[in-house]
Amino acid sequence: MTGAQALANTLDLARRADALGYHRYWVAEHHGGPMLSGPSPEVLAGPIAAATQRIRVGSGGVMLPHYSPLKVAESFSVLAGLFPGRIDLGLGRAAGTDPLTTFALQRDRRQGAPDDFPSQLAELLGYLEGTIPSDHPFARLQDTLPGRPETPEPWLLGSSAQSAIWAAELGLPYAFADFINPGNAGVAAQYRERFDATRRLQAPRTAVALWVVCAETDEEGQRLAASGRMTFSLLRQGRLIAVPPPEKALRFLEQDGRSASIASPRRGIVGSPETVRAGIEAAVAGYGAEEAIVVTIVYEHAARVRSYELIADAFGLGGVARAA
């Protein structure tokens, strides 16, 4: 589909997720590729929140190295002021793109941007929480955020042990990307063990993000999932493509010597509602997580919507009857 269609479908899926009883709806940040139409979660979050009634809305996440911490604080303060109690600010360290596009995103291109994520994160939290020391040159700025007294809820996103350490030290809720780096329950355990309670969070809270495709049957789920498997297979080779139709993907996987049902290095929870529920529950138990984030990439919007409907029904989410 076109980027504009993808954006419209993002709003449509948000309305349906809200009605189905999902708890959060996050949009990611990716730049310079044909696969995803989402470079600006801070821009998308407002229309999504306006189009929904109850669901929390946020970023999964803002790639902080691209930005000034003050600008991010101001943008999400605006959102929090407009939609009180509903805005999440998920933060990540990755670039969300290739090195050339990363360089194009820089305002100052005289040299590469410094790797100072911890200090960026500390400054951003200082603005949001009003904890910048009074003798700091930026201290007065923390009182000028436009959405006060409302603030977004910060989360730290990651796919490595380092992100878990930072989240634990800062007392932040932590979302781990199992769909990028699967089988790392030990990282979540390390986060819980090292967690330092703060005024922002008294006990560790973990979400695990999983690649999930749900359909009426296991066979149909595997057919739909072929689109993502082809996309990710080529992505690992540095070849960026738009998400292909299942039939094209199945031909590719067959020619490439793969089966549509072979799990790629990214964990895939694929199949019928019963299969998917069991897979999600096993992953959540393995990570000791309080929440599962469901990432579904398929070719047709209707199939994507149906996947979320079937998952909501399988877990008995409160909004299913109302949506039906």
Check residue 108 and give its pLDDT.
Answer: 87
pLDDT of amino acid 266 = 56
Contact partners, residue 286, CB within 8 Å, separation at least 6: 185
88 - beta bridge partners?
58, 153
Q: Which domains does the chain have, with CATH numbers?
A: 1-158 (3.20.20.30)
* Average pLDDT per block of 10 residues along the chain, 324 residues long: 94 97 96 90 98 98 95 98 98 90 88 90 97 96 97 97 96 96 95 92 96 98 96 88 96 77 64 98 97 96 98 88 51
Parallel, antiparallel, or unpaired for β 206-214 and 268-271?
A: parallel
Per-residue pLDDT at 320 = 58
Q: What is the DSSP string of 21-68?
A: T-SEEEE----S-SS---S-HHHHHHHHHHH-SS-EEEEEEEEGGGS-
Average pLDDT, the chain: 93
CA-CA distance, 149 to 77, in Å (whole number)?
9
> What is the separation, in whole angstroms, between the first and last Cα of the chain?
27
In the prediction, which pLDDT does 289 show? 98
What pLDDT, on a 0 to 100 scale, did the predictor assign at position 276? 98
Q: How far apart are CA 223 and CA 253, in angstroms?
A: 11
Tokens coding 123:
């400054």
Q: Spell 158-194 as b/e; 16+ CB within 10 A means b.
A: bbeeebbebbbebbbbbbbbbbbebebbebbeebbee
- Measured in whole angstroms, the distance separating CA 65 from the mean position of its chain's CA atoms is 17
Phi, psi of 306 (to 5 degrees): -60, -35
Which DSSP string corresponds to 257-279? T--TTS--SS-EEEESHHHHHHH
Distance CA 188, CA 158 (A): 10
